[in-house]
Amino acid sequence: MSSRWDEISPLSDRTGRQHSYLRVSVTDRCNQRCTYCMPKQGVPAKSHDEILRFEETLQLVELFVELGVRRVRITGGEPLVRRGAMEFISALGKLSQLEEISLTTNGTLLAARAQALADSGLHRVNVSLDSLRPDRYERITRGGDLADAIAGVQAARAAGLTPVKLNTVVLPDLQPDEAREIILWCNAAPRDFIPRFIECMPFQDIAAAGTALTDLQKALQRQFALVPDEQVSGDGPAQYWRVAETGLRVGFIAPLTQHFCARCNRLRLTSDGRLVTCLGHRDGISLRDLLRGGASRDELVNAIRRTILDKPRGHACAMDNDELFPNSMSEMGG
C-alpha cells in the first residue's frame, strides 16, 4: 500500500505548485560590480572547496531532471568567468529530457563564446543591459565596457540564441528617454530581441521601486502605443506588451510589488550547493554536504522533497515580513 508521501509529486509543495524550472548558479564571482547587485569592493568569495565541482552540479541537475525539471537556467555571478562552464553546458545539452537550457550573463565575455554555446545545446541568453550610453553603463557596472556587452549581444543573435532578452534594472535615475533608446535599438530586429524593464531590488524601498517601474511603463506606453501581448502566458513575473508598429515584445517585471508567488515554479541551486526555494527566505538545505557525505539517491530525493514541500507560500514582501530578501543577488544569480 502506498503512503501519502508516495502520492505527492517529488517537486510539489503543500500548495500544489509544481516545480519544473531550476536556476543553477555556477559561481559567486563576477567581472563587474553593478551598483544594485554588490558593494564596490565586491563580496567575499567562497573558497574553492565550498563551491560545487561541476561533476557534482551535473549529478544534482540530472537528479532534478529525473524528478521533473524541464528548464534549467545557468547563472552566477557571471557564469562565464568560471573555467569549465562551456563544458558543463555541453554536458547539460546531452540531457534529452531538458526542454530548455538558458544562460544569464552580462554579455561582456559572450562574443567569443556564443557560437560554441549554441553548438553545445544552449537555447537562449538573458543579457543585463542597463544602458546604451557608455558613460552611464560604465558607472552602473563600475568599470564595464558597453562595447563588450553589445558585441556579446550581437554574437548571441548571430548564433541563434534568440530571442535575446535584454534586462534593464529600473534604477531611480533611469529616464524614459534612455529606456526609449533601448526599445528603438531592439526595434531594428523585433523577432530577435526582447527588452525587459525590471523593478530594482535593493530591497530597502519597495514602494519607490514599484512606482519607478509603473511610471516608466506608463511613459513608454504613451510613446510606443504598447498593446497587451495576448500570446504570452507562463509562471514567471514578466508582463509582456507589444509595440503596435513593429511587433517588438516588451516586458515589465515587478516581482516585489506584483509578486507571482502563487504560481512560482522555480527552484534555485546555489554555487555552494544549497537548494533554495524562495529568494525571500533563509530556507534551504545543503545538497553539497549530503552529496559529499555519501548520501544515497533516495536520501537526496527525500531531502529535496522535504525542502520543496515546505516552500513558503509567498516571499517576505508578500507576507509583510520585516526581513526582506535575505539572500544576496550576487550569490543567488537573481
Q: Judge contact between 278 and 221, C-beta under 8 A.
A: no
Query: For residues 136 and 35, what is the distance between their CA atoms, to the nearest angstrom?
Result: 12
pLDDT of residue 323: 46
Give Cβ neighbours of residue 234 (< 8 Å, ≥ 6 apart): none
Write down the mean pLDDT value for the chain: 89
pLDDT of residue 232: 63
Residue 327 has pLDDT above 80, yes or no: no
Task: Please list the alpha-helical segments (H only) found in the chain.
Answer: 4-7, 54-67, 85-92, 114-120, 134-141, 146-158, 176-187, 206-224, 287-292, 297-309, 329-332
Q: What is the pLDDT of residues 227-253, one digit of tens each?
A: 999 776 556 788 999 999 999 999 999
Q: What is the pLDDT of residues 193-223, one digit of tens each?
A: 999 999 886 555 666 777 889 999 999 999 9
Residue type, 209: A
Query: For residues 115 and 111, what is the distance between their CA atoms, to the nearest angstrom?
Result: 8
Q: Judge contact between 283 and 307, C-beta under 8 A.
A: yes
What is the band of 9 on the pLDDT scale with cuts at 50, 70, 90?
confident
Query: For residues 198 and 196, what is the distance between their CA atoms, to the nearest angstrom?
Result: 6
The answer to whether the predicted template modeling score (pTM) of the entire model surpasses 0.75 is: yes
Q: Write the burial class of residue 206 (CB in 10 Å: 0-12 exposed, 13-18 middle, 19+ buried).
A: middle
Q: What is the pLDDT of residues 30-67, one digit of tens each?
A: 999 998 888 777 778 889 999 999 999 999 999 999 99
Domains contained in the chain, CATH given: 4-332 (3.20.20.70)
